[in-house]
A and B are shown apart, each in its own frame.
Chain A
Amino acid sequence: MLKAEGISKIYPSGESMVTALEPFSHTFSPGQVTAIVGPSGSGKSTLLNLLAGFDKPTAGQVIHQTPQQTTNLTQLLEGDKARYRLENFGFVFQNYNLMSILSAQENVEFPLTLLGIPVKERLERSRAMLASVGLERRTGHFPSQLSGGEQQRVAICRALVTNANLILADEPTGNLDSKTGAGILELLLGPAREGRTVILITHDAEVAARADVRLYLRDGRLERVEQREGATV
């Protein structure tokens, strides 16, 4: 479970201050897909940056709870925060953000390498993960040799391979055609069914419609919260 407690972000802009996100509070529950929806400049990415610990909130705090521990992300030092992300979070980006110098398999292996997992185990896990998304024959291909959809599938494998309990995806279908995007969305909905927390940023209404909970942001403010029919909060 991820709890945002009154987090806000104010940036200096010349001599004035710009409020990118007004105090925001919400609890992202395990087993649920939450979509953060809003037009450009509404504060979605700022919110994701704060939730992920990429940026520090001007006020408020982000707390991550697992059955084993409760961690206040806002109070962690940069190095500790990186380690925490590595062990608990998985990320999927709009531009896939695969490392061009690494093959598909090596990209998936990368977080396992950072974790210090032995070579044999990380090979097995990354191969199995790629096979689960139908890329078993593309393991040795580099990102430049893969289509957009394939790259995003590799990126999802990279996000899931550490068994992260929280998946944060920023416009994961933004650069894909609707058919490919639907496939990618299915892959992201899967972890929620396994009990993981999934947070999606999107401005695509169709994608948002598949989420259990929808947070609508406008001008840095949480405008409304919608819940999909039949979803449990």
Chain B
Amino acid sequence: MQSADLVRLAFRGLTRRAVRTTLTVLGIVVAVASMVIFLSLGEGIRKVFRDELGAVGPDLQVSINGINQSGPPIANVPQSLAVQLEAKSKEYGFKSVTPVVYAVRSGGFDPAQSYLFYTYPAKQGTADIIPNAEIAQGRAMNAADEGKLVAVVGSKAAKNGNFKLGSDVRYNRRNFFKVIGILKESGGFSDSFILVPLTTMQKAQGLEGKVSVVAIKLDDPGSAKAVAERVKKDFDVEAQTQSDFLKILDRAVSVSDAIRFGISLISLIVGGLAVANTVMMGVFERTREFGTMRAIGAKPSFVRNLVLLESLILSVLGGIGGVILGYGGILIVNWYTQNLASINAAALTGRLIGFALLISLILGLLAGLLPARNAGRIAITDALGRN
């Protein structure tokens, strides 16, 4: 028998109980869609960081213990390190050396009210930190703002916090920063930044003379790895390149991928059991039919393959539907995160589509194995109702 005939027969077998088949496929669709949406978050975050880091991130980040996956580092780097590094600018090929303090204000259950404070010497200007940044309203920070309670806010942060020129941005009970400028929307991370003069934040945190990292831009970004090694050796500090940072991030996202996949595995198992149940019921109902096929001359392997194929068709249809529904879900997630932070937090990548279809295929295979084995072993005499 040709494969096309077998596929046709399998489809006929499935359409015999169209409602049951449709419900089973829908079960798989929902299971795969939830997996796709869950895992698309990891893919999206990776993509965002890859795209954004080159634009916003420095070539090197120098800190005491290195930046790990636990979040923004605490300010424990002596600011004098920045001065020492700047002194070596020519020798090491530094384009700029910027002491930076990161700070996060959590908005609790409302992510729209969480802000990332990116603080650096006010005299440095915005271009070193956010290339192509333009002021939409008000003005940029200048040297005179150092130590003052002022802030320049990104467009998304302004929208989410409803900040206008002259508004107060609350950092903690005692410290409110007056908005002196609002940036134009750039469509990235920086839209959610709140830029504050370095010493202002150091005072607010009570950590004068300390910074989170020293951010370095290089004349030749291609030499980042070699320069990082030299800095580490010469200054006994951690120096991480963008690539190091991406690796850390990838590790963190991978762990979170595993957790999210674990959660979605529950729905996949339920979907798989639904397929197994449908196929098993089909085998039970069609025992006589399979017996007739065998009597006429179909080999046991033919019946086995037919049942397995039905299971695979169910799961692959569910997988395709799941990817399509998942894509719909991703669009909704991205609509939300675009409004929140100008980023697409979820992404449907080729490898995610491939993974979803592969999982569906494995699901169908596993769900169909037992019913197929049983169908192949049907005794003709029993199936035909004899003896």
Q: Residues of A contacting B385 with CB < 8 Å?
A: 95
Structural contact, B296 and A86, CB atoms closer than 8 A: yes
**Are B295 and A52 interface neighbours, CB within 8 A?**
yes
Q: A45-B386, A55-B381, A101-B13 are in contact. Are A110 and B299 (CB under 8 A)?
A: no
- How many whole Å from B10's CB to the nearest CB in chain A? 10
Q: Is the CB of B16 within 8 A of A100?
A: yes
Minimum C-beta distance from A62 to chain B (A): 15
Complex Cα spacing A49 to B380, Å? 9
Q: How far is the CB of B376 from chain A (nearest CB, A)?
A: 10
Choose, from A75-83, A124-132, A192-200, A211-219, the stretch at the interface.
A75-83
Say yes or no: B16 contacts A49, CB within 8 Å: no
Determine if B68 is an interface residue (Cβ-Cβ < 8 Å). Answer: no
Contact across chains for A114 and B298 when beta carbons are under 8 A apart: yes
Instruction: Please determine whether B297 and A49 come into contact, CB atoms closer than 8 angstroms.
Output: no
- Residues in B neighbouring A113, C-beta threshold 8 A: 1-2, 5
Residue from the list A83, A86, A93 in contact with B292, Cβ < 8 A: A93
Contacts of A49 in B (CB 8 A): 380-381, 386-387
Residues on B with beta carbons closer than 8 Å to the beta carbon of A102: 12
Q: How far is the CB of A223 from chain B (nearest CB, A)?
A: 21
Given contacts A45-B386, A99-B289, A101-B13, contact A54 B297 (CB under 8 A): no
Which 8 A-B pairs have CB atoms at the shortest separation, nearest pair first?
A86-B297, A101-B12, A54-B380, A97-B292, A85-B297, A82-B299, A79-B299, A45-B386
Question: With contacts A100-B289, A101-B9 known, what are 7 further pairs, Cβ within 8 A?
Answer: A45-B386, A49-B386, A54-B384, A78-B299, A83-B297, A114-B296, A114-B298
- Give chain B's interface residues, CB within 8 Å of chain A: 1-2, 5, 9, 12-13, 15-16, 288-289, 291-302, 379-381, 384-387
Binding site for B on A (CB under 8 A): 11, 20, 45-46, 49, 52, 54-55, 78-79, 82-87, 89, 91, 93, 95, 97, 99-102, 110-111, 113-114, 116, 158
Sample (19) of A-B pairs whose CB atoms are under 8 Å apart? A20-B387, A49-B380, A54-B384, A54-B386, A78-B300, A79-B299, A82-B298, A89-B297, A91-B295, A91-B296, A97-B292, A97-B384, A100-B16, A101-B9, A102-B12, A110-B296, A111-B297, A114-B298, A158-B296
